[in-house]
Amino acid sequence: MGAGGADAVFTELLSRHALEIINDRKRRGQPLDDIPVARISAQRKGAATAVAVLDLEQPDDVIEIDLPDSVQQRQVAGYDLLGEYGERKGKDTLALGSLRADELKPLSEELHLTSRIEASLRMQGVDPDHMSVRELGLGLLRLTGYDVSDHGTGSFIATGHGSTTYVSFVSHSVGEHPELPESAITRFLVAQASARTERGLLMTDKYGPYLIYQKERANPDLLFVTRERLQDFVDTIAVS
């Protein structure tokens, strides 16, 4: 849970998850008569807190409850996030000469997440208040229906929507230069070519150098999601 506790969207997602478990037990013939209620809890900093109680005295009625579509993860499970973003990349109006902060703020202070996306990240065990760029990226890929597997050395392969994508992350640390170094881009390009995937995605909470535009123009199947583009990447899901 976030610092403010369980909001309505988060509670509804947890309630749906609980009902799906009950539904699965019913399909497998397990008795529900000895389960009068379902108590739903969420964790914050390792401590569990009750957020909802479902009355199962009438399980046949309870199981048919349908929560609003706006909080269902499967609403975007078939959405090709990388394909859609690939169509939009390069159309940003980033002024490369604009002022950039030397010290970068945490993602939670700059990114604006819809309640649906935030709740989905929490359901995956990601705390949006303290998330890394890797946690954000993997959470969004899984939310939109990609199967993500570990490729070793901090990289991943995202499979889904008819393609495979090599995924790499570069996280910013306090005191480091705020712009993505050219060496990181070179390593990504070599690793993506070696992985033999259709697409490559590098996501970072550092600023992007002009070099990424050159690489994208040369190869449209390369996607660079830098700090300037993170909000647009998130919004690509929000408006789906």
Domain boundaries, the chain: 8-69, 74-238
Return the pLDDT at 97: 42
Specify the CATH class of 74-238 in words: alpha beta
Return the pLDDT at 238: 63
Exposed, middle or buried: residue 58 (CB in 10 Å: 0-12, 13-18, 19+)?
A: exposed
Q: pTM surpassing 0.85?
A: no
| DSSP code of residue 103 | S
159's enclosing H/E stretch is strand 155-160
Return the pLDDT at 66: 43
CA distance 80 to 222: 15
Return the pLDDT at 201: 97
State the 10-residue block means of pLDDT for the chain, 240 residues long. Answer: 71 76 80 79 82 74 42 48 68 47 84 84 90 95 93 93 95 92 97 96 95 92 93 76
The answer to whether 143 and 129 have CB atoms below 8 angstroms apart is: no
Nearest to 56 by CA among 39, 71, 72, 73: 39
Return the pLDDT at 68: 38
Query: At which residue do the structure tokens 């108590």 appear?
Result: 39
